[in-house]
Amino acid sequence: MLDLIWVLLLSFFIAITICVLLLPPYIKKAQAVDMVGIDVHKFDKPQIVESGGIILMLAYLLGLFIFIPFLDEPSTNVYTEEIIGTAATVLFCAFIGLIDDVFDIRWRTKALTPMLGGVPLAVLSLGRPTISTPFGILDFALFSTLGLLFFYAIVVPFVVTACANAVNMLAGLNGLETGSTLIIALALTLLALREGKNEGLIILAPFLGALIAFLYYNRYPSRVFPGDVGTFGMGTAIACVAMLAHLERAVFVMFLPHTINALLFFVGKLKGSPPPKEAPMNPDGTIPCTTRWSLRCLILQIHPMKETTLTYVIWLIVALFAVLGMLVYGL
């Protein structure tokens, strides 16, 4: 176990270092080639570098790959498949996000394509066709071949696309998605430590490092946005922790704010009143919201807020459900 702790720390600091070293030149180069977007929640509408999630995912994957030279160690060699499978799943979904950043694909396509990224995760789940829910363990093997087919072809890919899209849909404020994901990752790390889930710690250690470093540049006032390449990658990493460390029940509860936000969004879409992508700022600096069909807008309907306050409120909500998820796991 001592060997594993040292490798976990090495992975954590490598991810931080890579992100800190590569983000400033990436920001400079992206500005030079006009790879920027408008920060709509500022009066002066500054242009902010987009798709910084490329560096976030690069730092994460390189931090994850640092485990490979240590695979001969007894404390890490049993997790070879989890490392490679997580890397493949995250890389595939992040690539889909990058395609959306470049080509702005339709939301229906974007919602479903990450399911393909669930294939490596489904393969790793062979032999364990179960999922932990708030209502107990659901064993798909009890439903014979049809149940197994449904689990590997539908359930596992759906978990991936649900987590990826949930993080993506909660985005829109400086540091919101990165900070929210960091809160959940921290809670899962504590839970993995408590329950002895080493596979979860291996997936999470470099993820925490990359998120902490990226949040420094993504927090208010943001210097870089993660883009869909970042949000898809973040959500997919959480999905891998859920499935491979068998923490599905905890992640389900921790993601309830994201789930509520997604459900509100889809209802708004069906009613023809989705949250606006851009709206003029209120004269007092608070964020306008002309609809109620998102978690952000629902909060703003209760009380108008400025961007930083709204971000902190949502972080607090996510933190409360993260703690609740840790408690529910032990039930």
∠ CA 109-111-113, rounded to 5°: 60
pLDDT tens digits, one per residue of 21-63 = 999 999 999 999 999 999 988 988 999 999 999 999 999 999 9
Mean pLDDT of 242-247: 92
Q: Average model confidence (pLDDT) for the chain?
A: 89
Host H or E run for residue 91:
helix 80-103
Comparing C-alpha atoms, which of 40, 298, 322 is closest to residue 170?
A: 298
pLDDT higher than threshold 80 for residue 317: yes
pLDDT tens digits, one per residue of 267-278 = 888 877 777 666
∠ CA 8-91-231, rounded to 5°: 90
Measured between alpha carbons, how far is 272 from 129 in angstroms, rounded to an integer? 39
Mean pLDDT of 106-123: 79
Q: What percent of the chain is modeled with pLDDT above 70?
A: 94
Q: Which domain holds residue 256?
A: 2-329
Centre a 10 Å sphere on the Cβ of residue 53 and count the other Cβ atoms it contains: 29
Mean pLDDT of 157-162: 92
Instruction: Give the count of domains, the chain.
Output: 1
pLDDT tens digits, one per residue of 101-112 = 988 877 777 777
**pLDDT confidence of 146, banded at 50, 70, 90?**
confident
pLDDT tens digits, one per residue of 167-215 = 999 998 999 999 999 999 999 999 999 998 999 999 999 999 999 999 9
